A and B are shown apart, each in its own frame.
Chain A
Amino acid sequence: MLSQFSAIEGRSFGYWKLVIFLGVLALMGLGAFVAVEINGHGITGMNNKIAWGIPHVFAISLLVMASGALNVGSMSTVFAVKQFKQFGRFSAFLAIALLIGGLAVLMLDLGRPDRLLLTVMHMNFRSMFTLNVFLYSGFILLCFLYLWSMFEYQQFTKVIGSAAFLWRVILTTGTGSIFGVIHAREVFHSAITAPTFVAISLSSGTAISILLLVTTFKRTNRVLEDKVVFGLRNAFIFFTFLVAYLLVVEKFTRYYSPAFYDVQSWILTGPYAWLYLFGVWGATIIIPLAVLFNPKFGNSIGGVMVASFSSIIGTFAFVAHLLLAGQSYPLKMFPGYEVSSAFLDGQVATYTPALIEFVLGFGGIGIAGVIYLLGIKFFRMIPNEAVAPEGYELPWNP
Chain B
Amino acid sequence: MTMDRRTVLGLGGVAAAGVALAPGLTLIAAPPPDKSEASGDQRWAMLIDVTKCESNCTACTRACRQENNVPLFGDPTRDIHWIRKLEIRDKDHRRPSVSLPVLCNHCENPPCAHVCPTEATFIRKDGIVLVDKHRCIGCRYCMLACPYKARSLVYHKTEFPEGGNPNVPIRAKGVVEKCTFCVHLVDDGKQPACVQACGHAGHKAMIFGDLNDPKSEIAMRIREVKTQTIREDLGLKPHVHYQGL
From A118, A182, A331, A344, B137 is in contact (CB under 8 Å) with A118
**Given A111-B138, A331-B147, A342-B84, also A337-B111 (CB < 8 A):** no
Interface assignment of A13: CB less than 8 Å from any CB of chain B: no
Interface assignment of A327: CB less than 8 Å from any CB of chain B: yes
**Given A51-B140, A111-B140, also A119-B117 (CB < 8 A):** yes
From A41, A185, A331, A339, B153 is in contact (CB under 8 Å) with A41
Contact A343 B136 (CB under 8 A): no
A345's closest neighbor in chain B, by CB? B86
Contact A129 B139 (CB under 8 A): yes
Interface assignment of A254: CB less than 8 Å from any CB of chain B: no
Interface assignment of B79: CB less than 8 Å from any CB of chain A: yes
From B78, B87, B139, B172, A47 is in contact (CB under 8 Å) with B78
For the complex, give the distance between the alpha carbons of A336 and B233 in Å: 14
Taking CB atoms and an 8 Å cut-off, the chain A residues in 334-377 that contact chain B are: 334, 336-345, 349-350
A335, chain B: closest CB distance, angstroms: 8
Taking CB atoms and an 8 Å cut-off, the chain A residues in 100-158 that contact chain B are: 110-113, 115-116, 118-119, 121-124, 126-130, 133
Interface assignment of A159: CB less than 8 Å from any CB of chain B: no
Contact A47 B157 (CB under 8 A): no
Which residues of the partner chain B approach A182 to less than 8 Å between Cβ atoms?
A: 111, 115, 144-145
Which residues of the partner chain B approach A111 to less than 8 Å between Cβ atoms?
A: 136-140, 153-154, 173-176
For A, the interface residue count at a CB cutoff of 8 angstroms equals 50
For the complex, give the distance between the alpha carbons of A178 and B148 in Å: 19
Interface assignment of B167: CB less than 8 Å from any CB of chain A: no
Interface core residue of A128, A129, A337 (most chain B CB under 10 Å)? A337
Contact A331 B148 (CB under 8 A): yes
B40, chain A: closest CB distance, angstroms: 20
Taking CB atoms and an 8 Å cut-off, the chain B residues in 63-110 that contact chain A are: 75-81, 84-91, 102
Contact A119 B77 (CB under 8 A): no
Interface assignment of A48: CB less than 8 Å from any CB of chain B: yes
**Given A118-B137, A124-B117, A340-B86, also A40-B154 (CB < 8 A):** yes
Interface core residue of B117, B149, B154, B234 (most chain A CB under 10 Å)? B117
Interface assignment of A42: CB less than 8 Å from any CB of chain B: yes
Contact B175 A112 (CB under 8 A): yes
Interface assignment of A49: CB less than 8 Å from any CB of chain B: yes
Residue pairs across A and B with CB atoms within 8 Å: the count is: 173
**Given A338-B88, A342-B81, A349-B77, also A52-B144 (CB < 8 A):** yes
Interface assignment of A333: CB less than 8 Å from any CB of chain B: yes
Specify the main secondary structure of chain B where it touches its partner. Answer: loop
Taking CB atoms and an 8 Å cut-off, the chain B residues in 99-148 that contact chain A are: 102, 111, 113-120, 135-141, 143-148
Contact B155 A47 (CB under 8 A): yes
Which residues of the partner chain A approach B77 to less than 8 Å between Cβ atoms?
A: 47-49, 344, 349-350
For the complex, give the distance between the alpha carbons of A342 and B138 in Å: 24
Which residues of the partner chain A approach B140 to less than 8 Å between Cβ atoms?
A: 51-52, 111
Which residues of the partner chain A approach B153 to less than 8 Å between Cβ atoms?
A: 41, 46, 48, 51, 111
Which residues of the partner chain A approach B143 to less than 8 Å between Cβ atoms?
A: 48, 51
Interface core residue of A126, A133, A184 (most chain B CB under 10 Å)? A184
Interface assignment of A296: CB less than 8 Å from any CB of chain B: no
Which residues of the partner chain A approach B111 to less than 8 Å between Cβ atoms?
A: 182-184
Contact B115 A129 (CB under 8 A): yes
Interface assignment of B219: CB less than 8 Å from any CB of chain A: no
Contact A112 B174 (CB under 8 A): yes
Which residues of the partner chain B approach A41 to less than 8 Å between Cβ atoms?
A: 138, 153, 155, 173-174
B245's closest neighbor in chain A, by CB? A334
Contact B114 A40 (CB under 8 A): no
For the complex, give the distance between the alpha carbons of A123 and B75 in Å: 34
Which residues of the partner chain A approach B76 to less than 8 Å between Cβ atoms?
A: 342-344
**Given A52-B144, A127-B116, also A341-B85 (CB < 8 A):** yes
B149's closest neighbor in chain A, by CB? A331
Taking CB atoms and an 8 Å cut-off, the chain B residues in 213-245 that contact chain A are: 230-231, 234
From A327, A333, A336, B148 is in contact (CB under 8 Å) with A333
Closest 3 CB pairs of A and B: A111-B138, A111-B174, A184-B147
**Can you spell out 24 A-B residue pairs with CB atoms less than 8 angstroms apart?**
A40-B156, A47-B75, A47-B78, A48-B153, A48-B155, A52-B140, A111-B136, A111-B153, A111-B175, A112-B136, A112-B138, A118-B135, A122-B120, A123-B118, A124-B118, A126-B114, A129-B141, A331-B148, A333-B149, A334-B230, A338-B90, A338-B91, A342-B84, A343-B81
* Chain B interface residues (CB < 8 Å from chain A): 75-81, 84-91, 102, 111, 113-120, 135-141, 143-149, 151-157, 172-176, 230-231, 234
* Chain A interface residues (CB < 8 Å from chain B): 40-42, 46-49, 51-52, 110-113, 115-116, 118-119, 121-124, 126-130, 133, 178-179, 182-185, 327, 331-334, 336-345, 349-350
